[in-house]
Structure 1
Amino acid sequence: MSFISVLDAFQKWEKETPNQPFLHQNIHGRKITLSFQEAGDQIRRMATALQDMGMEKGSHIAILSKNCSHWIMADLAILMAGCISIPIYPTTDKATIQLILEHSGSKAIFVGKLDDYASQKEGIQGIPKIGVEMHGVNEDYGWDNLVEKSSPIQDVHKPAKEDLMTILYTSGTTGNPKGVMHSYGSVEFAVAEFEHHFTLPRHPRFFAFLSLAHIAERAAYEFIGVYLGGSIAFPESLESFPANLAEAKPHMFFAVPRIFQKFQESILKKMPQSRLDLLLKIPIINNVIKKKITSALGFQEAVSVISGAAPISPDLQEWFKKLGIDVNQGYGMSEDICVSHMNFPGMNRIGTVGQKYDHIKTKLSPEGEVCLLSDCLTLGYYNDEEKTKELFDDEGYLRTGDLGEYDHDGYLSIVGRVKDQFKTDKGKYISPNHLELPLSDNANIEQVCVVGTGIPQPIALIVPSEVGKDLSQDALRTSIQESLKSLNGTLPNYEKVAKAIVMKEDWTIDNGLLTPTLKLKRNHLEKIHSPYYSDWFDKSETVIFE
């Protein structure tokens, strides 16, 4: 459907299907459902409250919260009032929160569902805080109180396509977050491209669990969800996630590769691989097992299951395919609203990130960098002309920073990051991406980072999976050695991975080694571990336990 903005779409459903379920909030073991009319009433009242607080059109207003109904309502209220939303990842530390609020010039902030607000609160200085009482956040301004005393806004903001809608602060694998600016028109174009390639039922169901501050999640669920009149469910907690997902039965499911690894681990804990392989060979039992697993995951009505944000192992995709679950890998970034390339339904070529969307122009630079041109590209980085100039080439194409290769059918493979390349002391440049993926095919390995600056050969830093941690040290060593042998047999001498170092601790968001979107902060890992590269390389063992 064609709308000028997400506000137009919401008002259509609010008027035409007022009783249609819109938001499902799981909390305290129960589910609170709001229809379009019920949510719309709160959204409109909050938009009035923002205006009464002195928020003029064009004001920047931040949202700090995990996914919940109030996140979506706060965002729509900001837009209805003619303001610009500034999402902040819910795991962001107080220093970075302060940096983003100051850099964006935010005039107020919504504070919702959080795990440790007490440690973040100091990052919010000198602006009104609107707390969501449902999630235990009590501030000078409360959501319920403001909604109760405010009347619903009638003069809803009518944006032009070129108007700024939101500023998305990147999760930042290197340096400080940058403010990616997007207009209403770029969002409308992105949704139209999705609709052109995907067919979802009327009023589709969605399950939003990755942070809505990430553009892929926000585009997939808030933007597409509102445009299509869908309903959006949210998990209560990590513990309730499987049950909440199974109940939601989403028509589209988007996740990062690590989530699919966790699904695989949970299945294999209940049914070892050898038994699963045996049962899948029996014709009638085969279908029963597939249906049972698909239903347990909540995918029995899924039209599309998508992996993105980081490379997924082809072996993992093949593993799910044997269960009747086609995991389609896509590719995009905050700067293009993740509308770039996709393995569209029925056109999945495992090992690639798919073909370009129809109305996207692409090219490879002389160095092999993927470059994009479309109507959903960012307006630039907020208050950063220098970085904005670096982002585009002379023809206006977006420079992604990713190295790519196309096959004869137009399927794109990402072969590395321009900035991730390193040089060994033999003077050879190594692109680690194509070395890491084959190692991650091993179910005993959850995370891997290939490094090698200043030593003769690359080495792999490895975090075992839960399955791998359950093995004896000898068994895990043997498993990793086999993966190294298999990988090295395909490589020229200068690329062969000489050692694997098994890490003592996981790489997580909390210890600063993963971004909120679960991307590896390679530079942080390098800073911590590079002093040990030479010592590890000189050891006689092939697999070293840190």
Structure 2
Amino acid sequence: MGDGRGTLFARAARVAEEWSRALDKPRGPSVRLKLQHAAMDRLVYRGLREALGGRLDYAMSGGAPLGERLGHVLRGMGLPVLEGYGLTETTASTTVNTPQLTRMGTVGQPLPGVAVRIAEDGEVQVRGAGVFRGYWDDEVATERTMTDDGWLRTGDMGRLDGHGFLKITGRKSELIVTSTGQNVSPAALEGQVRSHPLVSQVVVVGEGRPHLGALVTLDAPMLALWGDNHDRPGLTPDVAADDAQVREEIARAIGQANASPDATDQIRTFEVLREDLTAARGYLTPSGKVRRELVLHDFADEVERLYAQDANQVS
């Protein structure tokens, strides 16, 4: 795809994101942006919508974070995705964005009959008609999961904004405590870095360490496209792991994640792995979640390099 289509799509994605973000502002899109969006609609967005049947009003998403940037890009292309949140123990959804009430980067407001609160430690807790009474024939697990006043401990970390929209920031079990005593939920940082087109997977580490580091894998198809557009045909993840220009792109993506309002700490160093973390290799669950413990075990040497003097630094 060295014929410029990759460059066009990248530009279309940038315009779509800018358009969607402008929709959330009181002034709305500028005249310049309206013209750009109309042009990209003719060249790109319309074809994507037709490829999906031409009648898609919106799609639903749950199970794993969509990512704020991707949500904006899809909405800007006329393919809005509404994120929701729930557990088996809550009989599916507890919160959801709607076509009328949507806030990107959140999983929406509680459904009727559902109450959501944030515990002192940041855990999301839920109460409502759909919440189960307990685990079958397992009182110990039930007592561990329910609070004394009848709220379900979800195990997820999050926060509610001033309008009642819930934002999930990570799993309580995945909290990283650095040697400086900083508690960090890695999911927010990982999601921000993963939104870069070249990035496939990200694992933030730093338990008991002086700072956060990140193991990053590359998206092979996007890398090949990026290589074609930068006069680097045939670029593979194995070769790109040592490529200075690719590392600059990754460092830039991490820098943007560090500057995000959701970042409670910053990634200081990173390592680009030569192979992706895939389900076929056992590093992802069937739902696409990274098996963190296995990654930390199998890539222990790469983790150690994150804390060496010559580690890749994020400026």
Instruction: State the TM-score, normalizing by the size of structure 1.
Output: 0.46
* Match in the other structure for 2:102: 348
- Tell me what 1:479 maps to: 249
Matches within 5 A, 1:35-114: none
Alpha-carbon contact 2:9-2:44 (below 8 Å) kept: no
Q: Give the drift of 1:515.
A: 1.5
**1:519 correspondence with 2:273:** no
1:502 aligns with 2:272: yes
2:179 corresponds to which residue?
425
Aligned 8 A contact 1:480 1:543 in 2? no
Q: For 1:368-447, what aligned pairs fall within 5 Å after superposition?
A: 368-447=122-201
Summarize the Cα distance change of 1:530–1:395 in structure 2 as closer, same or farther, 3 Å threshold: farther
After superposition, the Cα gap between the structure-2 partners of 1:274 and 1:481, relative to the gap in structure 1 and judged at 3 Å, is: same
CA RMSD of the aligned region, Å?
2.9
From 286, 305, 308, give the equivalent of 2:41: 286
Give CA-to-partner distance per residue, 1:500-523, whole Å, 9 cap, x none: 221222222232221111122222
State how far apart, in whole Å, the 2-side matches of 1:382 and 1:331 are.
23
- Please tell me whether residue 335 in structure 1 is matched to residue 50 in structure 2: no
Q: In the aligned structure 2, how far is the partner of 1:365 from the partner of 1:541?
A: 38
Pick aligned residue for 2:52 from 289, 297, 317: 297
Q: Is the 8 A contact 2:284 2:291 kept in 1?
A: yes
Rounded Cα–Cα distance in structure 2 between residues aligned with 1:340 and 1:421: 23
Alignment of 1:531-542 (within 5 A): 532-542=302-312
Match of 1:273 in 2: 10
Shift of 1:288: 6.0
Shift of 1:334: 1.9
Within the alignment, does 1:529 sit opposite 2:299 as a pair?
A: yes
Q: Secondary structure at the match of 1:340?
A: strand
Report the Cα distance in structure 1 between the residues aligned to 2:263 and 2:82, rounded to whole angstroms. 33
Aligned to 1:454: 208
Q: Give, in whole Å, the separation in 2 of the partners of 1:313 and 1:483.
A: 14
Shift in Å, 1:539: 4.1
- Identity among equivalent positions (%) equals 26
| Structure 1 alignment gaps of length 5 or more | 1-267
Q: Distance in 1 between matches of 2:308 and 2:135?
A: 45
8 Å contact kept, 2:284–2:290:
yes
* Alpha carbons of structure 1 residues 460 and 297: separation in structure 2 relative to 1, 3 Å: farther
Give structure 2 stretches of 5+ with no counterpart. Answer: 17-34, 228-239
Kindly tell me: are residues 429 and 282 of structure 1, through their superposed partners in 2, closer, same or farther at Cα, counting changes over 3 Å? closer
1:321 aligns with 2:75: yes
- AA of the residue aligned to 2:129: D
Give the match's secondary structure for 2:307.
helix
What is the CA distance between 1:379 and its match in structure 2? 4.4
Give TM-score scaled by structure 2 length.
0.77
CA distance 1:521–1:337, change in 2 (3 Å): farther
User: 1:412 deviation in Å?
Assistant: 0.8
Give the number of aligned pairs: 276
Secondary structure of the residue that 1:283 maps to in structure 2? helix
**2-side partners of 1:278 and 1:326: how far apart?**
15
Deviation at 1:531, TM superposition (A): 5.4
When residues 349 and 398 of structure 1 are mapped into structure 2, their CA distance, relative to the original with a 3 A threshold, is: same
Counterpart amino acid of residue 522 in structure 1: R
Offset at 1:530? Answer: 4.0
Partner residue of 2:32? none
Q: Do 1:468 and 1:476's aligned partners in 2 also have CA atoms closer than 8 Å? A: no
Superposed, 1:135-214 pairs within 5 Å as none
1:540 and 1:274 map into 2 onto residues whose CA distance is 35
In terms of mean alpha carbon deviation, does 302-311 or 492-501 score higher?
A: 492-501
Inter-CA distance 307–288: structure 2 relative to 1 (3 Å threshold):
same
Q: Give 3-state SS (helix, strand or coil) of 2:93's partner.
A: coil
Deviation at 1:494, TM superposition (A): 8.4
Distance in 1 (alpha carbons) for counterparts of 2:266 and 2:15: 35
Q: Match of 1:495, SS? A: coil
Distance 1:534 1:345, change over 3 A: same
Closer/same/farther in 2, CA of residues 278 and 363 from structure 1, 3 Å limit: closer
Return the letter of the residue paired with 2:47.
Answer: K
Cα distance between partner residues in 2 of 1:462 and 1:272: 24
The structure-2 alpha-carbon separation of the partners of 1:339 and 1:488, relative to structure 1 and needing over 3 Å to count, comes to closer
- Partners of 2:52 and 2:7 lie apart in 1 by 13
In structure 2, do the counterparts of structure 1 residues 421 and 282 end up closer, same or farther at CA, with 3 Å as the change threshold? closer
Check whether the contact 1:371–1:400 (CA below 8 A) recurs between aligned residues.
yes
List per-residue Cα deviations over 1:45-77 (Å, max 9, x = no partner): xxxxxxxxxxxxxxxxxxxxxxxxxxxxxxxxx
Distance 2:58 2:176 in 1: 37
Q: Which amino acid aligns with 1:281?
A: Q
